């Protein structure tokens, strides 16, 4: 017993490490709005199923492409198994504010606005849901810090300077709002111009 206690004293305590996350990590995906929070979540589920099933590239086209390259059947099976065990393509995050739910895009090749342009136009793959009111693509986002938000706003809004605009600000409920409505309005006004602000949009 004494030897065990001595060994415990000699071993230095292990330092607890937090899961590291890149400082430049941003969220990409889709905002789904609904008349109620419950219907927004149902609409988000419809969107996720549509993206994962109906809006996928046709398997027969992929198979023809593989065969044209002379890929063996065994290799094709290995690729499909790897895809099954890989990270899910879309992840349900849940409610981000009142009546708005968020679906995260997990793959770097998935650009939300490009995906929307595929299935929000008339055609066989068009997305339809009786729960979702609107689907908004989120191609870029920033951490809730003033300097990062200002940099993102400059990148996104600079090409729209001189056009009518209106700020829609939804505070985060149940926590701290690092970026206030006044801060967001000031950034937008400096880029888009105070004289072009409109309440009619």
Quote the tokens at residue 16. 């607890």
pTM, entire model: 0.63
Predicted local confidence at residue 30, as pLDDT: 94
Which whole-number Å values give the CA distances from 73 to 60, 70, 76, 148, in the listed order? 14, 9, 5, 48
pLDDT tens, 117-173? 877 767 667 788 999 999 999 998 888 888 999 999 999 899 999 899 999 887 766
On average, the pLDDT of the chain sits at 76
Cβ neighbour number for residue 24 with a 10 Å cutoff: 8
27 neighbors 106 (Cβ within 8 angstroms): no
Contacts of 149 (CB under 8 A, 6+ apart): 142, 179, 183, 184, 187
> What percent of the residues of the chain are helix, what percent strand, and what percent coil, each to the nearest 5?
45, 15, 45
pLDDT tens, 3-59? 555 555 555 554 444 433 433 557 899 999 999 999 999 999 999 998 887 656 544
Domain residue ranges of the chain, discontinuous segments joined by +: 27-141, 142-201
């Amino acid at each position: 017993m004494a030897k065990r206690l001595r060994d415990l004293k000699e071993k230095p305590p292990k330092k607890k490490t937090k899961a590291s996350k890149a400082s430049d990590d941003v969220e990409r995906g889709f905002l789904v709005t609904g008349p109620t929070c419950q219907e927004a979540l149902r609409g988000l589920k419809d969107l996720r199923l549509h993206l994962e099933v109906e809006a996928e590239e046709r398997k027969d086209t992929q198979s023809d492409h593989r065969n044209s390259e002379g890929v063996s059947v065994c290799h094709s099976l290995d690729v499909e198994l790897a895809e099954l065990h890989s990270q899910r393509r879309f992840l349900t995050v849940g409610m981000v504010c009142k009546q708005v739910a968020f679906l995260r895009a997990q793959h770097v090749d998935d650009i939300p606005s490009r995906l929307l342009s595929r299935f929000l136009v008339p055609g066989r793959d068009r997305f339809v849901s009786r729960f979702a009111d609107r689907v908004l693509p989120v191609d870029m986002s920033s951490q809730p810090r003033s300097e990062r938000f200002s940099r993102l706003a400059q990148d996104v809004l600079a090409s729209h300077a001189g056009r009518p605009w209106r700020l829609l600000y939804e505070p985060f409920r149940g926590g701290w709002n690092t970026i206030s409505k006044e801060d967001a309005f000031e950034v937008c006004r400096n880029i888009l111009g105070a004289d072009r602000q409109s309440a009619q949009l």
